[in-house]
């Protein structure tokens, strides 16, 4: 859709438009990326679900950490016609100075963490107990940062020491303790709704006063693993309401994870839509 603002960035999923020097319109599109490759096929409605879900979490955390919202709505910055079309997927945000590290938190061992653990017994430099099984709860929540790769590149796990060297020790500590706190608070909330949040990734930025601020998307099925408590069994691939379904399907096709991405069957698109809508409903309706 045409937006009468200058597009200043196009990520794998979100497009950023400049409102003025301090403010940005962030629009979540329906694009899908998996293994850092963007697909030709979109998941209709996904951007709206991601935005609504992030908004709900930002609100949930409003007393825990400042967030990137300016407090304005899309109606304040776009003509009414456009605002109407975009209101569910767009937000008006402060342009922050992004911290160039992804704040990954894990309460359970899965995904890339599981792969790394099987090879080395560690995740992001943290030694874990021997004999963990797939999807097992960790003895304590761990912080496993990764670098923020440019479009087309892959994020890379780094240890806390490396993160400290990149952004400074004090800031690294602050990011870590905030990320763990937010994860634990959300995980407790979700548990009451029958959902395990296995892991997630937060992004933070610094505002004009130097204050650490939560930004980007929060605890969505693109950035997190959500498992059904009732089907959860240690050692088994959990029933998940998130991107894992697509990743598993892709692995089953034998795709080498290099562009071009394969086309998605209609059935896979619809199942993804269903899973994304379902986790939103389970947590917030």
Ligand X SMILES: Nc1ncnc2c1ncn2[C@@H]1O[C@H](COP(=O)(O)OP(=O)(O)OP(=O)(O)O)[C@@H](O)[C@H]1O
Residues that bind ligand X (CB under 6 A): 11-14, 16, 26, 68, 93-96, 98, 148, 151, 203, 205, 215-216
In this structure, are residues 88 and 46 in contact, taking their beta carbons and an 8 Å threshold?
no
Shortest distance in whole angstroms from residue 28 CB to ligand X: 8
- Separation of alpha carbons 262 and 250, rounded Å: 8
By beta-carbon proximity to ligand X, the closer residue of 186 and 214 is 214
Shortest distance in whole angstroms from residue 150 CB to ligand X: 6
In this structure, are residues 128 and 134 in contact, taking their beta carbons and an 8 Å threshold?
no
By beta-carbon proximity to ligand X, the closer residue of 12 and 278 is 12
By beta-carbon proximity to ligand X, the closer residue of 212 and 239 is 212
By beta-carbon proximity to ligand X, the closer residue of 11 and 194 is 11
Shortest distance in whole angstroms from residue 14 CB to ligand X: 3
Shortest distance in whole angstroms from residue 134 CB to ligand X: 26
C-alpha 5, offset from chain centre: 26
**276: CB partners within 8 A, 6+ apart:** 43, 45, 46, 49, 50, 221, 241, 242
Shortest distance in whole angstroms from residue 94 CB to ligand X: 6
On the 0-12 / 13-18 / 19+ scale of CB atoms within 10 A, 127 is exposed
Shortest distance in whole angstroms from residue 121 CB to ligand X: 29
- Separation of alpha carbons 202 and 219, rounded Å: 8
How many degrees, rounded to 5, is the angle at CA 278 between CA 275 and CA 279?
90
Q: Can the peptide bond before residue 260 be classed as cis, meaning omega within 30 degrees of 0?
A: yes
Q: Which residue is nearest to ligand X (CB)?
A: 11
- Separation of alpha carbons 116 and 109, rounded Å: 10
By beta-carbon proximity to ligand X, the closer residue of 165 and 208 is 208
By beta-carbon proximity to ligand X, the closer residue of 12 and 247 is 12
Shortest distance in whole angstroms from residue 270 CB to ligand X: 23
Q: How many CB atoms lie within 10 A of CB 247?
A: 15
By beta-carbon proximity to ligand X, the closer residue of 146 and 240 is 146
Q: How many CB atoms lie within 10 A of CB 226?
A: 27
Upper half-sphere CA count for residue 114 (Cβ side, 13 Å) = 18
């Amino acid at each position: 859709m045409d937006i009468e603002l200058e597009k200043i960035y196009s990520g794998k999923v979100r497009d950023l438009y400049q409102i003025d020097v301090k403010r940005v319109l962030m629009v979540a599109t329906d694009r899908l990326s998996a293994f850092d490759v963007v697909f030709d096929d979109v998941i209709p409605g996904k951007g709206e679900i991601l935005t609504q879900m992030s908004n709900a979490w930002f609100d949930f955390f409003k007393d825990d950490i400042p967030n990137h919202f300016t407090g304005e709505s899309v109606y304040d910055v776009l003509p009414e016609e456009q605002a109407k079309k975009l209101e569910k997927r767009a937000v008006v945000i402060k342009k922050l100075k992004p911290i160039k590290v992804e704040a990954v938190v894990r309460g359970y061992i899965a995904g890339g963490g599981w792969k790394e653990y099987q090879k080395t017994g560690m995740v992001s430099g943290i030694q874990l107990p021997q004999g963990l099984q797939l999807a097992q709860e960790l003895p304590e929540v761990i912080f496993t940062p990764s670098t923020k790769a440019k479009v087309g590149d892959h994020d890379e796990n780094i240890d806390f020491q490396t993160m400290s060297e990149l952004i400074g020790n004090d800031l690294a500590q602050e990011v870590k303790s905030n990320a763990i706190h937010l994860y634990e608070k959300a995980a407790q909330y979700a548990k009451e709704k029958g959902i395990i949040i296995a892991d997630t990734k937060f992004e933070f930025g610094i505002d004009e006063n130097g204050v650490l601020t939560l930004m980007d998307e929060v605890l969505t099925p693109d950035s997190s693993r959500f498992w059904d408590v009732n089907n959860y069994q240690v050692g088994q691939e959990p029933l998940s309401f998130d991107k894992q379904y697509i990743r598993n399907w892709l692995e089953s096709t034998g795709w080498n994870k290099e562009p071009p991405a394969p086309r998605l069957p209609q059935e896979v698109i619809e199942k993804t839509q269903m899973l994304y809508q379902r986790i939103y409903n389970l947590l917030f309706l």
